[in-house]
Amino acid sequence: MNSIKDERKLLGLTYLLCIAFFVNLGFLKEPFDKGALIMGAVICLLIGYAYFIVRKFFPDGDKFILIFVCLLSVIGIAMLYRLKRSDSIKQVIWFCISISVYILVVVLLPDLKSFSKYKRLYMIGTVVFMAMATLIGTTVYGAKNWVIIGPISFQPSEFGKLFLTAYLASSLKDYKTFKDLIEPAIIVMVSLGFMVIQRDLGSALIFFGMSVTMLYIATSKLKYIIATFVMSGTGAFASYNMFSHVRKRVMIWKDPWKYANDESFQIVQGLYAISSGGLLGSGLGFGLPGLVPVRTTDFIFAVICEELGIIMGLGIIMLYFLLFYRCMRAAIYVEDKFSQLLVVGYSAMLASQVLVIIGGVMNVIPLTGITLPFVSYGGTSMLTMFFALGIIQKVSEEG
């Protein structure tokens, strides 16, 4: 009962944050922007409906996962409304679609144990989606990772990582000897190779972090992890010498100020935005986000820190940590090995993506252009992440 009370308190705080954001956004325009209130009301209704369905019909699982995701989505949509209203409207539509997919996964999918037998299907899906952008992709911001078919545009690697995780879970669940790791290792290396060719280094880092985590959970062998890091270091060194775009990213990372007017302009502008916001920020609507390139996707974290302060930035990081903790907690209570590895893989995927993009924006690691989950603008990213969390929610119900 205490869990339900805590959930409802957190849900109430989510509503309060949503109302505060959009009322504030309404006052930024003269006359008062009623559209902001309508958008806030729509988001509250969607969150309330999703929580009601999952809580009423599936009361045993971890509902904090849904609430933490909704909190992050509220922050992202509110900031997008501040930056570019048309993108925020599209994001609300994607939020509606994604949360519907989340509910459908929980409601319609049978026991996940039965899905472990489709290893070959997952492998084919992985190879197809990883290779797609290499063959028919379009270059956007230096990376050839988008496929555009008429009015539809998407990143195949977003779907590829779902298939890769499912493939690794179905392969590693039967691990007994080293021979069982050869095929999964080949598939992972092929996937990483396609990402390097496409210049999608962010996805490559995410796949690596996810694969290493699943490998350790499946085998508990530290020597495999050490060997993986050695081989990856060798591959990274080879990529550095073979591909100019890899050398460029490292060059910018080592000394961004030297190239502030050219190659590292967006990193430097992002760092200026974070520092100018200080601890409490300049206030919603009172920053200068127009000076930050790619502000609705890659650098939205910098814009949030500028207007809402480093305090809000730390709060977002804590929300991701709590979400990761609740996801990994679901893996502890489930007995089926396939379901456990699937949860670990999707949880590691989320954590790796957050660390890679926030680390890149703050120049802790070389910058790679990926979205901040649930916060940045991006329909494909939101849809795939909600699907992954729907699977985790399903596993938590079973556990």
Q: What is the mean pLDDT of each run of 10 residues along the chain (399 residues)?
A: 80 94 92 92 94 85 92 96 93 95 88 88 94 86 79 87 95 90 93 88 90 93 91 85 82 87 87 92 90 90 95 96 93 89 95 93 86 92 94 85
What span, in angstroms and rounded, lies between the C-alpha atoms of 124 and 138?
A: 22
What pLDDT is stored for residue 2 in this prediction?
A: 64
Residue 253, token pair as written in the block? 């990372």
What pLDDT is stored for residue 22 in this prediction?
A: 95
What span, in angstroms and rounded, lies between the C-alpha atoms of 100 and 384?
A: 12
Say if residues 293 and 266 touch (Cβ distance below 8 Å).
yes
What pLDDT is stored for residue 335 in this prediction?
A: 85
What pLDDT is stored for residue 1 in this prediction?
A: 45
What span, in angstroms and rounded, lies between the C-alpha atoms of 351 and 356?
A: 9
Task: Flag whether the pTM goes above 0.75.
Answer: yes
